[in-house]
Structure 1
Amino acid sequence: MAGSELPHIFLLLNATSTTLAIAEGAPFSIVGGVALALSSLAAIGQVAVIVLASRGRSAISDSLAAAYGDVGLSRSPGWRHWLRAALAPARLRRRSVERTSAIRYGPDRAAHLLDLYRARDLKAAKGFVIHFHGGGFFSGRRSKEARLLMEQLAAAGWIGISADYRLEPAVFPDQVVDAKRVLAWTREHARDYGADPETVVLVGGSAGAHIATICALTAGDPRFQPGFEDADTRVSAVIGLYGYYGPAPTRGLPSAPEDYLSEATGRTSSVDIPPTLIVHGDRDPMVAPAMARTMAEQLRDASADQVVYVELPGGHHTLDRFDSLRCSALTDGVDDFLQRALG
């Protein structure tokens, strides 16, 4: 996936190796000429990938503008944006943001851990954004996909939480139960971190989007809150990134978000489905964009709140792993969506 998010790095390496080969006279041989031709084709492809990546910002801006009737993204990239994108593999940390690691939120000493991100000079937080990682329900860790997004949102005044959850051999609904435990822990400790416990947003990548979406559709459902049935597990908004929305390995309960979408609309009203942002790459090789489009359409049909769908040109899976052009546009888009959806 790095090739789709860091094409400028590969282009630079290609140009450097080609220049060295030319300096040594390699292209003047038959083998060298073939190598030069292949290198040129690769460079053309890498430039095309860069062009596609640069269109991500417009795609997000246009989708927000269509949903909310305004001008789209509120910020444009400056020199810092381009510098961070150029140095993406270094994943420069924001000095203005502090991270507290490995806080326990539940009884499982290995799986029930979270990291908390907040600005060092934070006076009054906007609320919490809780992130659940991907990994197909059998792998993944809280410190991978989430860090860039959590740091940007923390710098903007949010408190970010990235949480682990039980993986295989655990099966559905264990992951959703764990996510609900994080919600309960967050509201219980909100005042300790200077935040309003009423504003809690869920965001997930891949399998994490599956978990976040079901959580958003099952607030207060005792099937997912064993031993803490009275905890407030309402969600202010939900964000799915390159999400998987199909069935999961299960002990018997329905395990696809659409199952709980139909329950939510039948049990209560469409107003109870929170504002939603779904972002997917149009070239995702692991989860077809059609699945994300279908999920967005189903939510739009049922919800009285805005459901924003963005398809990123050239985007693959785990497109938020590096601080790339596309990831920078994505994090700006998430920040702007929250401003519009929650005021």
Structure 2
Amino acid sequence: MFLLSLIWAWTAWNIYRPYRRSPELLGVISFIFGVIVGEFGLHVIAVEVALTVLIILFGELSGLGDAVGLIIALGSWLAIGVFYFRAQRAEPIMAQAVRDALGLNPDQPLNTSDSLQINPDFKRLLKPFAYRLPGVTRHKNIEYCTVNGRSLKLDIYHRDDLPENAPVLYQMHGGAWLENCGSKNEQALPLMNQLAANGWVCVAIEYRLSPGSTFPEHIIDCKRGLSWVKDHIADYGGNPDFVIATGGSAGGHLSTLLALSANAPEFQPGFEDANTEVQGCVPFYGVYDFLNSQNQRSAGESLSQWISAKVLKHTRAEKPELWRQASPLYWVHKDAPPFLIIHGEADTLVPVAESQELYKALHAVSKQPVAYAELPDAQHAFEIGISLRTQIVVNQLCVYLDELYRRHLQALSMQATADVTDDDTAKIDDATERNTDEAQT
């Protein structure tokens, strides 16, 4: 019991003091246990309590050491429980980020639909991997293109009643750009299912991965997928004129690069005329500067080493222009779409400085609102399951994205009204001119 309690104590310590130094392998271990214990702490406590009860029932608890171990275990459970409910600190941060991302002044109200779920649903916390919601349909493995004989597929989520002219979320998965490290099947599921239940159409794509593929093939596939969405999503109830890009980690990098490089011919070989604009971007904990120009990744260079060896297959010295081309930070421009950037303060894989630098660059030049939410205690991939923090973030994002779409439709309506007014004015002017001519004759 004593040794077991020490392990439990370390997992509790780790969520409060995640490891961010070299060697980076320890940061990966800190990440794994940080997500499990930090996001699903109540379940962890339940399992550890059950094990302790079994130890007692089998008479394996005896002596001073085990008594001390039991006290340590009790302290660990208390620490984990407190940490779990500290996730509620994300709510005001996300709420303010949403207001900033919408460009609202402090005295401007934010009108939310009565149908939106704002507060966490505590019943859903009992089953953190029960992603599916009633009334949501998923179409799996729809082919969007074939490259070198390989079929690339996507999944589509929408409400059973197939809404018309629904806004679209376009999701790119993470996994370090590497084969067997991530797929469309297990990422962003809380967000996509919630949005689909709210009337959105959500698309999750797969793309070619390294080392079998080399950049820019990853982003080219994402652009091909977006082109397919523009051409076909209306068949599933989606509005091809309103697409929001999102993704986490490598997907955060790709979604940001996609949003900032709209219609860039170097990323659209053979489909240069396709429209690859999006109307917004919500990247999670991505790598945005491969060049590490601000020393964001000061703890070590293993990330740059595997980008060089596996993804770009050239060193920075060999092809600095390729490293720059792959970095969203260097694609920032004044006509970028709206951005809401999200990163966990406790991320041990990708430092928050990556998102901070992207936010600074966008905020300095973009004509559209830009916001950044740095979430206390949140690890990399914190939203992999339905945790308290995940529900808070997802619910606030639903508010933000719905308001973006409402404004989009409002702008179209105002433009249509203006066009009609211009037509009517032109007709009146023509009629007046004819009457004047007739009077003169």
TM-score (ref. length: structure 1):
0.90
Segment drifting more, 49-58 vs 317-326: 49-58
Matched, 1:227 2:261: no
Match of 1:153 in 2: 195
1:98 corresponds, among 115, 137, 141, to: 137
Matched, 1:241 2:312: no
Match of 1:332 in 2: 395
**Paired residues for 1:4-15 under 5 Å:** 4-15=38-49
1:115 corresponds, among 127, 144, 155, to: 155
Query: Is the 8 Å Cα contact of residues 65 and 72 (structure 1) preserved in structure 2?
Result: yes
Q: Aligned Cα RMSD in Å? A: 2.1
Residue aligned with 2:92, SS: helix
Match of 1:38 in 2: 72
**Paired residues for 1:119-268 under 5 Å:** 119-138=159-178, 139-169=181-211, 170-247=213-290, 248=307, 249-250=311-312, 252=319, 253=322, 254-261=325-332, 265=333
* 1:325 shift after superposition: 0.7
Gaps of 5+ in 1: none
* 1:66 shift after superposition: 4.3
Matched, 1:311 2:377: no
Match of 2:354 in 1: 291
Distance, in Å, in 2 between the alignment partners of 1:204 and 1:49 is 26
Segment drifting more, 145-154 vs 58-67: 58-67
* 1:293 shift after superposition: 1.1
Distance, in Å, in 2 between the alignment partners of 1:12 and 1:184 is 47
Match of 1:85 in 2: 125
Gaps of 5+ in 2: 1-34, 291-306, 314-318, 407-441
* 1:20 shift after superposition: 4.8
* 1:58 shift after superposition: 2.5
* 1:54 shift after superposition: 2.2
Query: Is the 8 Å Cα contact of residues 90 and 376 (structure 2) preserved in structure 1?
Result: yes
| Residues 103-160 of structure 1, C-alpha deviations (whole Å, 9 max, x = no match) | 1111136561100001001332422111001011103100111222111111111110
Match of 2:95 in 1: 61
Query: Is the 8 Å Cα contact of residues 281 and 339 (structure 2) preserved in structure 1?
Result: yes
Distance, in Å, in 1 between the alignment partners of 2:158 and 2:165 is 9
Label 1:200 to 1:76 Cα distance change in 2 as closer, same or farther (>3 A): closer
* 1:25 shift after superposition: 6.6
Segment drifting more, 16-25 vs 272-281: 16-25
Distance, in Å, in 2 between the alignment partners of 1:311 and 1:246 is 18
Distance, in Å, in 1 between the alignment partners of 2:192 and 2:248 is 13
* 1:76 shift after superposition: 3.2
Query: Is the 8 Å Cα contact of residues 93 and 375 (structure 2) preserved in structure 1?
Result: yes
Match of 1:48 in 2: 82
Distance, in Å, in 2 between the alignment partners of 1:184 and 1:218 is 14
Label 1:71 to 1:285 Cα distance change in 2 as closer, same or farther (>3 A): farther
Matched, 1:321 2:399: no
Query: Is the 8 Å Cα contact of residues 141 and 164 (structure 1) preserved in structure 2?
Result: yes
Distance, in Å, in 2 between the alignment partners of 1:171 and 1:45 is 45
Name the aligned partner's letter for residue 187 of structure 1: K
Query: Is the 8 Å Cα contact of residues 143 and 152 (structure 2) preserved in structure 1?
Result: yes
Residue aligned with 2:356, SS: helix
| Residues 245-294 of structure 1, C-alpha deviations (whole Å, 9 max, x = no match) | 13253265321111212xxx3xxxx1x20011111111001001111111
Query: Is the 8 Å Cα contact of residues 60 and 72 (structure 1) preserved in structure 2?
Result: no
* 1:206 shift after superposition: 0.3
| Residues 278-326 of structure 1, C-alpha deviations (whole Å, 9 max, x = no match) | 1111100100111111111111112111112111111001112111111
* 1:213 shift after superposition: 0.7
Distance, in Å, in 2 between the alignment partners of 1:275 and 1:65 is 12
How many residue pairs match? The answer is 332
Distance, in Å, in 2 between the alignment partners of 1:143 and 1:123 is 23
Query: Is the 8 Å Cα contact of residues 336 and 366 (structure 2) preserved in structure 1?
Result: yes
Matched, 1:76 2:76: no
Residue aligned with 1:30, SS: helix
Segment drifting more, 293-302 vs 105-114: 105-114
